Each structure stands twice: as C-alpha cells, then as structure tokens.
Amino acid sequence: MRKVFQISISLAFIFFFWYFFRARAINFDPSIPDTQKVLTYERVISIHQKDGKDYCSNSKGYCRRPETRHVNCHAALRGDKEYLSTVTGPNRIPVVPNPYLNMSCAQISDRVLPKYNMNPLKLGGIAFARNVFTDYEFIEKQIQMTWHPDNRYCFVVDKLADRNFIEKMKQLVGCFDDQMVMMPVEIHMTSAGHNQNLAHTQCMQALLQYPNWGYLLLLQNYDIITKTVYEMDRVFDLLGGANDMQIKKENLYFRVKGLKWDPISLKLFKNTSGIPDHVLQTPLITSSGGVEATLSREAVRWLIETVDLTVSIDQRNQSNYGGDEQFISTFHINHQLGMPGHFTTSCMDYAPIPQITKQTVWGTPRSVWCRTMTHRHGTCLYGIEDLQPMAELPYLLWNKVYPQFDQAVVDCTAELIYNRTFLGQVDHELEEDYYSNLVTVKYHKDHKKPGFVLNCKPTQKLRNYEDYL
C-alpha cells in the first residue's frame, strides 16, 4: 500500500511538471522586451562596425548608416503618415556610435569628400563657425553635407568635452588644414549661453585669414543644414549683402541690472573719431534673437576690425541665461552703429522679424507645437516626421536635431542634400522670391535711397513650421 502511494505521488509530480512546462510552452509570449530589442539592435550594428568593411564602396548613390538603411526616405519626404508611424514613437531609430570608427585621413576623406566634381560658387565660398562639444559623427556628417572645395570651417571645442571627442576633432581638422581651423581648447561653453559669443568671435577672426568666402554661418553643435551649398550660395546672392538672424524684442529676464549698454561704456569703437556723440552716448536697444546667424563677410570684418567686442561679450556672459542670444542681433538692429548689412530698430513693434537662418521651436515636453512632442533644454527635437517641412521651408538650418533621439532624420536629410547636389533631384524649387522680398533684404537694398519709406509688414505669406502640424 505504501509503495502504491509513493508511485502515485511520483506520477502526480510528473504530471504536474509536464502540465506546467507544457502550459509555459503553449503560452509563450512571442513579443521581445524593449531592453532585449535594444541590445540585439546594438549588437548587430556593432558587428557591422567592427568588421571594418566598406559597405558603401559599390554604392552609386548616397549610402546610409546600418541603422537607417531600411528607412524609406522618399515616403518620409512625401509626409506619408502611415509609413511614418512605422519609424516614429517606439520604432524611432537612434544612432549607435561607432567605437571602431577609422580616423585615418584617408578614411575621413572617403567619408567626407564627394565622388563628383563640384561647380564654382558665385560668391566664392561659404564659411562655417561651429561651437561643438560632442557627437563627432554628427559633426563630420555636417561637413559632408556642406562640403565644397571653396568652403571654410572653424571649430571651437568645449574644454570639458570628452577627450576622445577632442582628439577626433583635432584629427579631422588636421586632415583638411587648408580649409579648416580649430581654436585652442581653452574655454567652457555652457548650455545657458556663457562663452558662446566668445567662441564664435574667435572663429570670425580666424576665418578672415581665408580669402574669397562671401558669407559666414554661426552654428551650434546640433544645428543641421537643410540646403545644399548651391542653394545657400544662391540665397546669399539674393540677400545681396544683408545679414539674417532671429530678431525679437528684448527678453527682460536676461537683463542684468546696473550694466550700461552705450558704445562709450562698452568701449565699442576702436576709433571714435568721426562718430557723432549721440551715437556714442545713446544706449543700444537690445534684441533677443539667437546665437545662429548669417553674416556677410563685410559684417564679420566690421565685428573684428572696427569694433572691440571684449566688454560686450563680458557683459552678456554676466546674464544667468540667454545673454548669447542678444549679442549679434543687438548690433544688427542698431543701425546707427553702421554694421554692414544691418537692419533697424524701426520695426521692433512687428517683431519677431521674418528670417531664414534658423528654425526652432521653444516649448515644453508633449507640446503640440512640436511634431515629435519631445524637447531637450526647452527646444523641440526634430525627427523623421519633420523631413518634409525641413525640405520645403526656406530655413538654412534647424535646431535641434539629436542623433541619440532620431538618426533617421539625420541620414534622410543628408541623402536629400546629396540627391539635390549631385543627382539633380528637384523635390521642391527654391523659393527665390521669398528670400528677395524679406523686409530685411528690402531695407538693405533701398534704405539709402532718397525718400525711402520702410514697410515693416511682410508683403508675402510667411512660410511656417506650424503649417505642417
């Protein structure tokens, strides 16, 4: 009897384990946890990176990174909402940085330089001054997207940047020392704006040593260019010497009490002879604009050779936040200073003044005014769903694009630039009338004519990001 009982207990255990594991097998959840997906994704990309093979050597067109080769950029460019739902949200594609990136000059040149010959630029070249601190592969991609033999580049690298990033930037610039310069790594630039203007001013001075370029773009780390070099060259030709940047009324939150802003107190002019007393003694009207700007060569020369920016930069740095955004635009609107390509204070009641340099959206997370509904430091992060407006709107650059958030928009924008530049793709005509009819351009062209009356109201329908929401 006891033996029968033991056998019964054994059979019961066997049946129990059989049922348990059978049930587990039948009810297996086929979905892969997100953490496992990420690890698998990164492992596969890492294998591609580590083997060192050139998967783009036989490519006849633009070659994307392994992460984004499956993305249908054409569907994104059309604004196909059904397709975009498959590469946004939980399906959004972040960058996987390449720890095995070959940094020899031969390989850097292979990644940056086009396989096609390039036509001359009408204005002789474009200069770029970019403050950087991270994401080397993104910075290198921006050079590829804006490359032309006549273009010139200057970089200021934050002294607190990762050592590996600093060394990569040194190597990059060293491979193109006829076209690039990197300033000594000795200043810290904060996200609150401190020393951003100082860095750009250092680059302005360094870039003036290069002849022929006609316009300079002031850039930050995560600005992405959305026009080809030929399109930018044409836009600058249409500006006709006018500068372009964001112009808004002063944000009083940025103001530091007790500081004086008249040219005498700022020790602005290196030579005050011939400058009327009322110009020297009248406080400047402050504009809260942006760090990014489009400046004519003559304006850059004025900023470096005619005026001394030391006190102005020091006082802007005393602001807790945003002083850098009031630097260039303030000189730009105070016409009495005589900065080449300037605008005027007469239209400040109509601010913000339409501009074409930078598209950005400020707000809070989940804001409906940002298509990705994602922000960083209060700025909208653009994603692949923004490719259509990036391609069609007149802005030269967009801020902010963050590869760790969405690499697809970086690669698809780069492919768009490549196809327009080298393959003759015409997906959207450059709206030349829009640029030539900007109020700032009209002012620059006609303000010295007898009887000129400035109309501050836009005479054309403004092109806005909100049109795509």
pLDDT per residue rounded down to tens, the chain (469 residues): 555 445 555 545 444 444 444 433 334 344 546 664 565 466 566 666 666 666 676 677 899 999 999 999 999 999 999 999 999 999 999 999 999 999 999 999 999 999 999 999 999 999 999 999 999 999 999 999 999 999 999 999 999 999 999 999 999 999 999 999 999 999 999 999 999 999 999 999 999 999 999 999 999 999 999 999 999 999 999 999 999 999 999 999 999 999 999 999 999 999 999 999 999 999 999 999 999 999 999 999 999 999 999 999 999 999 999 999 999 999 999 999 999 999 999 999 999 999 999 999 998 877 889 999 999 989 999 999 999 999 999 999 999 999 999 999 999 999 999 999 999 999 999 999 999 999 999 999 999 999 999 999 998 999 999 999 9
Query: Cβ neighbours of residue 459 under 8 Å, at least 6 residues apart?
Result: 437, 439
Query: Cβ neighbours of residue 206 under 8 Å, at least 6 residues apart?
Result: 154, 181, 183
CB count in 10 Å sphere of residue 435: 20
Q: Which amino acid is at 292?
A: E
The edge-to-edge listing of strands for the beta sheet with 358-359 is: 224-225, 397-398, 358-359
Query: Structural domain tally of the chain?
Result: 1
CA distance 203 to 73: 35
CA distance 153 to 126: 9
Query: Residue 6: its pLDDT value, please?
Result: 52
Query: Residue 43: its pLDDT value, please?
Result: 58
Give me the residue label for tokens 């006190």: 311
Q: Is residue 357 in a domain?
A: yes
Residue ranges of alpha helices (H) inside 208-262 are 229-239
CA distance 249 to 259: 18
CA distance 123 to 105: 29
Query: Cβ neighbours of residue 210 under 8 Å, at least 6 residues apart?
Result: 125, 127, 152
* Closest-CA residue to 380 (of 354, 343, 409, 416): 409
Q: Is residue 43 in a domain?
A: no
CA distance 350 to 362: 20
The pTM (predicted TM-score) of the whole model is: 0.90
Q: Is residue 9 in a domain?
A: no
Total number of residues shown for the chain:
469
CA distance 113 to 111: 6
Q: Is residue 83 in a domain?
A: no
Which residues, in sequence order, are bridge partners of residue 296? 215
Counting DSSP H helices and E strands in the chain, the numbers are 18, 11
Find the domain containing 152 and state its range.
Answer: 105-468
Query: Residue 53: its pLDDT value, please?
Result: 66
Query: Residue 25: its pLDDT value, please?
Result: 38
Q: Is residue 452 in a domain?
A: yes
CA distance 129 to 182: 10
Q: Is residue 445 in a domain?
A: yes
Q: What are residue 248's phi and psi, to 5 degrees?
A: -135, 165
Q: Is residue 426 in a domain?
A: yes
- Cα-atom radius of gyration of the chain, to the nearest Å? 27
| Vertex 18 angle, CA 16 and 24, to 5° | 100
Q: Is residue 338 in a domain?
A: yes
Six token digits for residue 408: 């697809």
Query: Cβ neighbours of residue 132 under 8 Å, at least 6 residues apart?
Result: 139, 155, 156, 157, 158, 161, 169, 221
